[in-house]
Structure 1
Amino acid sequence: MNRPAHALNPAANPRNALNFSGGPGVLPAAVLQQVQESIASVPGVGLSILGISHRSDWFAAVVAELEDNIRSLLGLPADYHVLFLQGGATQQFSMLPMALLAGRKHAADYLHTGYWSGKALPEASRVGPVRVAWSGAAEGFRRLPTDDELHFDADAPYLHYVSNETVEGLQFHRMLGRDDVPRICDMSSDFLSAPGDYSRFDMIYAHAQKNIGPAGVTVVVLRDALLKAAPDNLPGFLDYRAQIAAHSILNTPPVFAIYVVLLVTRWLRDQVGGLAAMDRLNRAKAALLYQTLDSSDGFYKGHAAVADRSLMNAVFRLETPCLEAEFLGAAQAAGFSGLGGHRSIGGIRASLYNGLGLDAVEKLVEFMDGFRQKHR
């Protein structure tokens, strides 16, 4: 039986290249090819990645290299730990206040800038006092706060914010907070997408299934000094110190997902050329798509304020739900995937994560121009 070429090589599947899903996001073709090979046999090991022991010397070396790769890409000093945990960013909504907020008199500062930061608030409130330093709910999460609107408490145990709101397509393009208050950021949807002064963050966390790999593992980067006042009665699995001592192998970790993240960090370092080069490509993709929105004479209407537009997730609408449904159907027929907006707000969302090529965005804007011309 004759099979299409991409049945033997998933990296050659054109639908993989045109996957604009908000998550799990597209993997780079070169990484996808390595993943396919590793499912049959990991180079130098001779076993499938799905059957290699998490207690093997080989996997311990994978974790060690991945820790070093992430520290290097982020430019972090040696006093930062890098963990690979389960439970997604959702588990971090509870795990971090358990370590840093339980029993504290002063409230932690939280920003409510969209869907995912809103999910973090009630989880932290179960553990200790929380102050919402700013909320965009009244405006439908269409913009982010200006510096003049932000007043942070010097006595707060920490500040928590989400750098990129995946659902609404909002992204902070500056650092927030005070350097004398621990700065904690959920970077799930823009992690390793651009260079930055990451040593000014005391903790960063990001689930993998946007920019850096498949679902199943969450990267947590935290400064050693952050945990000095953590309670001693935390469950072992939910205690960062126990996970640090075990180098993320406290229990059976997601070996496959961690290995794929390793391949992505190698790709970023060796093929892309680092985070500055990745940022240039991401900015080119976003500029091309937003130019198409802005030049459409209102046919495509962006959700986010221009100054706060995300480089990772472009969210927009058409004039009617019927027209949006027609757009999505025509896009799928043309080979595009993952363009439906999040269930909470609907519309259209094009996610431009690291693994998506510029050529994919060029094809999308060509399709969008043709669709607009057909209906105007």
Structure 2
Amino acid sequence: MYKLGSEIVKRAYNFNAGPSALPEIVLQQAQEELLNFRDTGMSVMELSHRSKEFETIHNEAQSLLKELLNIPENYEILFLQGGASLQFTMVPMNFLNGNEIGNYVLTGVWSEKALKEAKILGRATTVAASTKEENYSRIPNLSELIVSPEDAYLHITSNNTIYGTQWKDFPETKDSMLIADMSSDILSKPLPIERFAMIYAGAQKNLGPSGVTVVIVRKDLLEKVSSSSIPTVLRYDTHAINNSLYNTPPTFSIYMLNKVLHWVKDLGGVKEIATANEIKASLLYDVIDQSNGFYRGHAEKDSRSLMNVTFQLPTNELDKKFLAEAKEAGFIGLNGHRSVGGCRASLYNAVPYEACKALQQFMIMFKEENQTN
């Protein structure tokens, strides 16, 4: 709940998969500054992206991200547009030249889409491993991956929102040429950044509102962007040279990213966030595991995501009843993706413990009222 004038406003239990919950304090700060940012007499949305005021916001966001994720100096941090979906195109466009091969691990819909874009461009690709035949219920074991010295890179999706699976360890690749779509779990736990050539993530899960995409790319990769046939705005080096200000950036989204990063720092950093996320997820997984099959998780236990808890009830009718009654009780965004069905609770960083505890209690109550012996 929060106070709006003299009115107390109740916040929904927001379990949306994205755009997702934002920290309440961040929203309040943005509200307070909306009409007059730091005595400029303007909203952040009205500031010139070339102004000193916005430059401070922009550079501070980069510094905070570098600090929180321990990003080494040999990496560039870019703020781009187009979401992770545009990165599906930019990655092969920039890094696959000649006979080089892009190697993809298929763990869900988004990794399939990344591979599809590389093929549309006519680039050479291969599949290192896939769990599609198992309805993407698990992450492949590292021993299952088929990699080659000929691979220009190995691409993974670190967390699969639709299926509720998450990589627990990351592959070792030649020259550390691992590229990851981390849209669903970036900033949710500490990361071994040096094991990645590039990480990209849409902001609308853990970083802020939709509109900005964070790219963390090793500087030596930028030297490989040599083809003159790549349009200027689709070249990573264009944005690196211009500090992500080649064209007008999504200024308000970067401002909100800045606020969220301050919030994470004030909470104690990513390690504290990771501990909180483990506790939140355990509330729901414990209910599933102790339900004697009333709740059935989609993901295998060793591949379970801390960000997205996916589950089904014994029948489609009970799925529908659960979702309807949950909505009446104030729980938003629990519908599973149409390709999997059932239910999904997205537990991103800004989803509070209290919301997860309330959902846990609701799940227990619903089971008691609807199970048949």
Which residue of the partner structure matches residue 249 of structure 2? 253
1:262 to 258, 261, 270: 258
Q: Which runs of 4+ in 1 moved over 6 A?
A: none
1:216 to 200, 204, 211: 211
Which residue of the partner structure matches residue 239 of structure 2? 243
Q: TM-score, normalised by structure 1?
A: 0.95
Distance change >3 Å, CA 8–CA 177, structure 1 → 2: farther
Q: Does 1:83 align with 2:78?
A: yes
SS at match of 1:43: coil
Which residue of the partner structure matches residue 26 of structure 1? 21
Instruction: Compute the displacement of 1:43 (Å).
Output: 3.0
Question: Alignment length, in residue pairs?
Answer: 369
Segment drifting more, 71-80 vs 41-50: 41-50
Say if 2:149 and 2:174, in contact at 8 Å, map to a contact too: no
Segment drifting more, 41-50 vs 85-94: 41-50
SS at match of 1:180: helix
1:14 to 2, 10, 13: 10
Segment drifting more, 201-210 vs 48-57: 48-57
Say if 1:114 and 1:137, in contact at 8 Å, map to a contact too: yes
CA distance in structure 2 between the aligned counterparts of 1:31 and 1:63, rounded to whole angstroms: 17
Ranges in structure 2 where 5+ consecutive residues have no aligned partner: none
CA distance in structure 1 between the aligned counterparts of 2:114 and 2:288, rounded to whole angstroms: 31
Q: Within 5 Å, give how 1:144-293 maps onto structure 2.
A: 144-230=139-225, 231-270=227-266, 272-293=267-288
Say if 2:176 and 2:197, in contact at 8 Å, map to a contact too: no
Distance change >3 Å, CA 358–CA 158, structure 1 → 2: same
Q: Does 1:114 align with 2:139?
A: no
Instruction: Compute the displacement of 1:6 (Å).
Output: 5.1
SS at match of 1:15: coil
Instruction: Compute the displacement of 1:141 (Å).
Output: 0.5
Q: Does 1:49 align with 2:80?
A: no
CA distance in structure 2 between the aligned counterparts of 1:44 and 1:199, rounded to whole angstroms: 40
CA distance in structure 2 between the aligned counterparts of 1:45 and 1:53, rounded to whole angstroms: 11
Which residue of the partner structure matches residue 323 of structure 1? 318
CA distance in structure 2 between the aligned counterparts of 1:96 and 1:163, rounded to whole angstroms: 16
CA distance in structure 2 between the aligned counterparts of 1:13 and 1:62, rounded to whole angstroms: 29
SS at match of 2:331: coil
Q: Does 1:99 align with 2:120?
A: no
Instruction: Compute the displacement of 1:90 (Å).
Output: 0.2
Say if 1:157 and 1:181, in contact at 8 Å, map to a contact too: no
CA distance in structure 2 between the aligned counterparts of 1:275 and 1:67, rounded to whole angstroms: 16
CA distance in structure 1 between the aligned counterparts of 2:5 and 2:312, rounded to whole angstroms: 37
Distance change >3 Å, CA 333–CA 9, structure 1 → 2: farther
Distance change >3 Å, CA 149–CA 39, structure 1 → 2: same
SS at match of 1:184: strand
Say if 2:2 and 2:11, in contact at 8 Å, map to a contact too: no
Identical columns (%): 43
Which residue of the partner structure matches residue 295 of structure 1? 290
Say if 2:176 and 2:196, in contact at 8 Å, map to a contact too: no
Q: TM-score, normalised by structure 2?
A: 0.95
Instruction: Compute the displacement of 1:251 (Å).
Output: 1.2
Say if 1:313 and 1:352, in contact at 8 Å, map to a contact too: yes
For residues 48-78 of structure 1, the C-alpha deviation after alignment (integer angstroms, 9 at most, x for no partner) is 1221221211111111111111111111122
Instruction: Compute the displacement of 1:323 (Å).
Output: 1.1
CA distance in structure 2 between the aligned counterparts of 1:331 and 1:243, rounded to whole angstroms: 44
CA distance in structure 2 between the aligned counterparts of 1:337 and 1:107, rounded to whole angstroms: 42
Instruction: Compute the displacement of 1:179 (Å).
Output: 4.5
CA distance in structure 2 between the aligned counterparts of 1:278 and 1:9, rounded to whole angstroms: 33
2:351 to 351, 356, 369: 356
SS at match of 1:242: helix
Instruction: Compute the displacement of 1:39 (Å).
Output: 1.9
Ranges in structure 1 where 5+ consecutive residues have no aligned partner: none
CA distance in structure 2 between the aligned counterparts of 1:131 and 1:9, rounded to whole angstroms: 60
Instruction: Compute the displacement of 1:119 (Å).
Output: 1.0
- Answer 1 or 2: which has greater strand percent: 2
Say if 1:63 and 1:247, in contact at 8 Å, map to a contact too: no
Instruction: Compute the displacement of 1:310 (Å).
Output: 0.1
Cα root mean square deviation, aligned: 1.6
SS at match of 1:158: strand
CA distance in structure 2 between the aligned counterparts of 1:240 and 1:190, rounded to whole angstroms: 23
Instruction: Compute the displacement of 1:121 (Å).
Output: 0.8
CA distance in structure 2 between the aligned counterparts of 1:156 and 1:99, rounded to whole angstroms: 14
Instruction: Compute the displacement of 1:41 (Å).
Output: 2.2
Match of 1:244, as an amino acid? Answer: A
Say if 2:172 and 2:195, in contact at 8 Å, map to a contact too: no
CA distance in structure 1 between the aligned counterparts of 2:143 and 2:334, rounded to whole angstroms: 35
Which residue of the partner structure matches residue 69 of structure 2? 74
Match of 1:117, as an amino acid? Answer: S
Instruction: Compute the displacement of 1:8 (Å).
Output: 4.6
Q: Does 1:126 align with 2:115?
A: no
For residues 220-270 of structure 1, the C-alpha deviation after alignment (integer angstroms, 9 at most, x for no partner) is 010110121212332111011111112111111111111000000011112
